[in-house]
Structure 1
Amino acid sequence: MPETTAEDAIARDLVARFGTPAQVAALAVPDMAAAGRITSRVRALREARGERPVGRKIGFSNRGLWERYGVDRPMWNHVWDTTLTEAPEAEASLDVARFPEPRIEPEIVLRLDRAPEPGMDEAALLGCVGAVAHGFEIVQSILPGWRFTAAQCAAALG
């Protein structure tokens, strides 16, 4: 049986909390390398229970928020089939009671018809976009008061 690490335990705990208002007092994620390993474990656990990644989300694209939240670059993570709600009739509802400290953020949603490739110029990148839509995201903070490090945030987005 494989050895269980502290990072495995964090990943299991995060997955157990998704969809609940439960927060943690502390989250031991020392750096972005650890966050990446935890995020990989979270993805494996979510896929093992039948969830599918259906897109990607870029977080902290607003540089004005970086200092407040202690981040120094945008970060990305998966959008999951279990957390995405499409509203073709421009109407949907969501019970926010299951989220810790929920907030709403406006989003620009891009549907890519093909994957961007390294070295593409702006025109070629734009050519990958098949559709643009308005959207919003309900964001949440597993750590009280929205106080976290970049590494904690990256791990908790899993």
Structure 2
Amino acid sequence: MTDLERLAAIVDDAALNANAIPQFSEHSPLSVADGYAVQALSMQRRYARGDRRVGIKMGFTSRAKQVQMGLDDLIWGHLTETMRMQEGGSISMAHYVHPRVEPEIAYLIKHELAGNISPLEAINGVAGIACAMEVIDSRYANFKFDAGDVVADNTSAAGFVIGDWHPPDTDVTNLGIVLNINGRPKQIGSSASILGNPSRALVAAIRLAAENGEPLQPGDIVLAGSATAAVELSVGDHVEAQFETLGSVCFSVRE
């Protein structure tokens, strides 16, 4: 077993069993490239258990966050079938280390997309747009990590829920968004917080997935990145994200 395979086994076990682990870079810096190699190896372990890829998610869609983490590009991770949550359903806190929730814009891919393309070309390859929420759950103790760590941990991807699909030409450039916990607003933001326009995150998703030999396929879902700061989840929470034009999406948290 190589060092990268060992790290993949550690992070995969942490996600599978909801165990907190030490930050890898505390002992030895992990480059972003090595982080992606670890991510790929950990995903192979998930697929061997019968899980399957259903799309990808984007991270660090704020330029300020990229600078903070010492990066000049977005990061991305895999979405799998077992991460999908039922809209209006519930999730168990026992499956997570320290989960947080973010409101996002979701795209449904119509046909294979790859390479460097324009936002208009990207939207022409989309079958639908929906409101969504992502549950992120860094498996590192105290939610502390650097860029290589978070990439290795599949960019903290842990769950996602999607609302009703709308036509692909729906304007989502600057939609007002309210993230409510137990009926009270916790975050208020706009889809414009996602790179100024969520379609730019879609363009980046198409480019990055293709560069890594995984071009987007029909039926794939792309989460464009968070429109607000993430909110910590607790047992008993009822979570709802309300979006202008797109409606709302919700779930609850049980023990």
Provide the TM-score with structure 1 as the length reference: 0.85
1:37-58 deviation line (CA, Å, top 9, x unaligned)? 1112112111111110011111
**SS class of match (2:122):** helix
Deviations 1:98-142 (A, max 9, x none): 212211100111001013232433222110111111110111122
Q: Distance in 2 between matches of 1:16 and 1:133?
A: 32
- In 2, Cα distance between equivalents of 1:70 and 1:136: 26
CA RMSD of aligned residues (A): 1.9
The structure 2 residue matched to 1:157, chosen from 138, 150, 154, is 154
Alignment check: 8 A CA contact 1:71 1:149 kept: no
Consecutive unaligned residues in structure 1, runs of 5 or more: none
Q: Is the 8 A contact 2:19 2:97 kept in 1?
A: yes
- Determine whether 1:52 maps to 2:52: yes
Q: Secondary structure at the match of 2:123?
A: helix
Matched residue of 2:34: which SS? helix
Query: Aligned pair in 2 of structure 1 residues 70, 120: CA closer, same or farther (>3 Å)?
Result: closer
User: Which of structures 1 and 2 has the larger relative contact order (alpha carbons within 8 angstroms, sep 6+)?
Assistant: 1
Shift of 1:75: 0.8
Instruction: Give the 3-state SS of the residue equivalent to 2:76 in structure 1.
Output: strand
Identity of matched residues, % = 22
Q: CA deviation at 1:73?
A: 2.5
Deviation at 1:72, TM superposition (A): 4.0
Question: Which of 95, 99, 113 in structure 1 is aligned with 2:96?
Answer: 99
Provide the aligned length of Structure 1 versus Structure 2: 152
Distance in structure 2 (CA, Å) of the matches to 1:56 and 1:146: 22
Corresponding residue for 1:141? 138
Amino acid at match of 2:74: P
Q: Secondary structure at the match of 1:136?
A: strand
Structure number having the greater strand percentage: 2
Match of 1:115 in 2: 112
